[in-house]
Amino acid sequence: MAHPVIQLKNVTRVYSPGANQVWALRGINLEINRGEMVAIMGASGSGKSTLMHILGCLDRPSSGQYLFANQDVTRMTPDQLARVRNREIGFIFQSFNLLSHTPAWENVCLPMIYAGIPRPVMIQKAMAMLARVGLKGREEHLPNQLSGGQQQRVAIARALVNEPSIILADEPTGALDTRTSIEIMALLQQLHQEKGLTIVIVTHEPDIAAYCERLVRIRDGQIIEDRPVPEPRLAARELAALPVEED
Ligand code: ADP
Ligand code: MG
């Protein structure tokens, strides 16, 4: 039986700057099951980030219902929402959003500080997670001492460290070159396959969506397509076929 982690029922989001109403989402119905790897695609301005903010409990629908793991998000108090965000959801952004004067390991510790995890456990988990994403030996590096791809790996470690139910990634490869993008997709595919992690990736790049198992297309705040991807690209295999890069 499928276990939905996300259920959106007729969700709308209307922004009203001044007198102007902007209908960013116009009745979204969407179910995502545990263990799925889903791409959400759409042109700029189609409502992708708005949808992501709602999925991530950073924002609330104007109308409609949102159930996260069968709990009605629209009825949660701000405290309950913050708890769901911290424990159940891992965020990855285009711009990495790391603290710049803070070493990699401490960036990874942040979500655990909010979760109240004891410091020795926290440090041990952060180090293990950095090794898991391929950053052993870089723990003390500051973000500006790391490449874009390495910074995104730190962000992925940070997103994973509280063992969330779902990873939400908004244009995770948007600031990366092609090869580095494939490396990041290889890491996400590996986490998905080995740990059964549920991943939702927003992208406007068809090449990136092709690594996912399901494609949801939105236009003007509405879902216009929702279908399986018959043969997702395998990032690890593509990497192995690429010529070795000179340093
Ligand atoms: P995408 O991520 O697909 O580019 P967004 O979700 O950012 O799209 O935006 C969807 C629509 O909502 C756009 O028309 C955008 O201008 C509008 N919008 C987004 N955020 C706000 C906001 N805070 N206030 C007013 N309008 C907004
Ligand atoms: Mg956006």
Q: What percent of the chain has pLDDT over 90?
A: 90
Task: Report the chain's C-alpha Rg in angstroms.
Answer: 18
Q: 130-188 pLDDT, tens per residue?
A: 999 999 999 999 999 999 999 999 999 999 999 999 999 999 999 999 999 999 999 99
User: Is pLDDT above 70 for 26?
Assistant: yes
143 with 95: CB under 8 angstroms? Answer: no
Q: What is the DSSP letter of 82?
A: H
Proximal ligand: closest to the CA of 43: 1
Strand order through the sheet with 71-72: 22-33, 4-15, 63-68, 71-72
**pTM to 2 decimal places:** 0.94
Mutation choice for ligand 1 from 26, 44, 49, CB with most ligand atoms inside 8 A: 49
- Give the pairing of strands 166-170 and 198-203: parallel
User: Is pLDDT above 90 for 243?
Assistant: no
Predicted local confidence at residue 236, as pLDDT: 96
Q: Which residues lie near ion ligand 2 (Cβ < 5 Å)?
A: 48-49
Proximal ligand: closest to the CA of 40: 1
